[in-house]
Amino acid sequence: MEKLDSNTFDELLREQDPFQQSTPQFDLTGVQFISPSGMVQLAAASYALAHRGDRPAILVDDPSVRTYLARAGFVSAVEDIAEVQPPLAGYLFDHCRGTNPMLLEVTRVESGAALPDLLNQIIWVLRHRLKYRRFDAYDVATAVSEIAQNTFDHNTSACGFVSMQVYGRRSGRFLEIGIADSGCGLAKTLCRNPKNGNISSDDDAIRKAVLLGTSEHDDPTRGTGLHHLLDITYKHGGSVQIRSGTAKVRYRMDKKQGWLFRVPTMPGVQVALTLPAKIPLDGDIIH
């Protein structure tokens, strides 16, 4: 495997089965590229293993990937729950932290205190690098905030992670935002509200979760996050992938349709969002 992203992460779980190992590890030998969604899923999986009493090893041999994991804040985010091998000191790259506005370093989300700074950075990137209009940028940030808040709203002992990276140049740019937690997952969470009816599987839970108003809470103002995220994805021609338990649904930008994949089981909910840059027309004013 040469890259670790939201798709190949499932290959990693299937081949290495870390949740069934007595001494779990993630062997990234040969990986030459890792995306934000790959990083946050790896962090969430490590946290889930640590919660049960294990300290997983993460084997990384490629020098550029090792450096990126440190610069992107991954090493610092997981240093108390996992062990990167060979050892890599994240603090050696502290002087790089915050110097690249196109990179949102892996941020551990355990309360609302972590959200304002990362949301402001997402808004800045959308407006000034991808040329989104002000209110569209705020819409994206609101959806990301709602999904990130689910980590501590619906779980008592889980941890969430958020990261973002911009790729490409000028009009060919796009961003990827990865959000992942190690909590109960959608099915168990939604079953707490009897109004959601019978939820028979993880894919059923995902499909219900994207409907407006579907929530653990019996409150008409709740249950907007994933629905809002899909609307944004279709509006801006992006893509979104929602993973929970043993199911993953990928929503295409050109069809309001989700494509279901069976995946190895993992605690929590993981979301990968990609959005393309806007190409302003002549005379168009970006507000």
Sequential DSSP letters for 35-74: -HHHHHHHHHHHHHHHHTT---EEE---HHHHHHHHHTTH
SS3 189: helix
Q: Tell me what the mean pLDDT of segment 176-191 comes to.
A: 88
Contact 267, 183 (CB under 8 A): yes
SS3 96: helix
| Interatomic CA distance for residues 10 and 4, integer angstroms | 9
Work out how many domains the chain is built from and give that number: 1
Pairing mode, if any, of strands 57-59 and 83-85?
parallel
Structure tokens of 144?
């990301």
| Interatomic CA distance for residues 211 and 199, integer angstroms | 14
Name 244's Cβ contacts closer than 8 Å, sequence gap at least 6: 185, 186, 187, 202, 205, 206, 209, 268, 269, 270
Average pLDDT, the chain: 86
Q: Would you tell me the crossing angle of helices 134-154 and 115-128 to the nearest 10 degrees? A: 150
Pairing mode, if any, of strands 160-167 and 174-181?
antiparallel
pLDDT of residue 262 exceeding 50, the answer is yes
Closest by CA to 269, choosing from 150, 213, 185, 199, is: 185
Decide if 285 is inside a domain: no
pLDDT of residue 215 exceeding 60, the answer is no
Residue 213 is predicted with a pLDDT of 58
Decide if 283 is inside a domain: no
Decide if 281 is inside a domain: no
Residues of the chain above pLDDT 90, percent:
58
Q: Tell me what the mean pLDDT of segment 240-263 comes to.
A: 89
Which of 128-132, 167-171, 228-232 is the least confident region?
A: 167-171
Decide if 282 is inside a domain: no
Residue 214 is predicted with a pLDDT of 57
Token pair 């294990």 is found at: 54
Predicted TM-score (pTM) of this structure: 0.90
189 versus 167: the higher-pLDDT residue is 167
Residue 39 is predicted with a pLDDT of 97
Domain extent, residue 131, equals 3-91+100-276
Segment 100-120, tens digit of pLDDT: 889 999 999 888 888 899 999
Q: Tell me what the mean pLDDT of segment 163-177 comes to.
A: 89
Segment 12-23, tens digit of pLDDT: 999 999 999 999
Decide if 142 is inside a domain: yes
The C-alpha torsion from 40 through 46 and 47 to 50, rounded to 10°, is: -170
Decide if 207 is inside a domain: yes
Decide if 50 is inside a domain: yes
Which of 50-64, 178-192, 214-228 is the least confident region?
A: 214-228
CATH number where 238 lies = 3.30.565.10
Segment 138-155, tens digit of pLDDT: 999 998 998 888 777 656
Q: How far is CA 103 from CA 14, 59, 176, 202, 274, in A?
A: 29, 23, 10, 32, 14
Decide if 286 is inside a domain: no
